[in-house]
Amino acid sequence: MGVLLAALGFSPFDIVDSVRRLAAHIYDMGFVAVEKATRYFLLGAVIVFPVWLVVRVFKMLGGEDNAPMLDHNSRNNEA
């Protein structure tokens, strides 16, 4: 096998270097995916958190109107 690889122009250093570059590329791709996911998470939080905070403040200032959001007389309860 060594003779065949030498005849084709490969050396052990080329193979080791290729494996190292492949591992580095896969490693980098993983962190790019984590970075993109973090960006999407933060982008959503920029919208959702202020809306949640405003709703929470209005709910606290609203007084004693703590009626549940569920309608107990809905069609789903008839069965």
pLDDT tens, residue by residue, 26-77: 888 888 888 889 999 999 999 999 999 999 999 999 865 555 555 566 666 5
Indicate if the pLDDT at residue 7 is higher than 90: no
User: How confident is the model at residue 69, as a pLDDT?
Assistant: 58
Rounded CA-CA distance 31/37 in Å is: 10
User: How confident is the model at residue 72, as a pLDDT?
Assistant: 60
Count of positions (residues) in the chain: 79
